[in-house]
Amino acid sequence: MSKIDPELKKKLLIESQAPFKGLRRILWIAFTGSAFLGLLIMLSKIASGSELAQNNLLIQLGACILFPTLLFLDRNKD
Residue-number span of the structural domain to which 26 is assigned: 20-73
pTM of the full structure: 0.76
Q: How many domains does the chain have?
A: 1
Task: Report pLDDT for 26.
Answer: 95
Q: Per the domain annotation, does 8 fall within a domain?
A: no
What pLDDT digit, counting tens, does each position of 8-54 carry?
888 888 888 878 888 999 999 999 999 999 999 999 999 999 888 88
Q: Per the domain annotation, does 11 fall within a domain?
A: no
Task: Report pLDDT for 68.
Answer: 96
Q: Per the domain annotation, does 4 fall within a domain?
A: no
Q: Per the domain annotation, does 58 fall within a domain?
A: yes
Q: Per the domain annotation, does 47 fall within a domain?
A: yes
Buried/exposed 35-49: b ≥16 CB within 10 Å, e otherwise: beeeeeebeeeeeee
Q: Per the domain annotation, does 7 fall within a domain?
A: no
What pLDDT digit, counting tens, does each position of 53-74 carry?
889 999 999 999 999 999 999 8
Task: Report pLDDT for 70.
Answer: 93
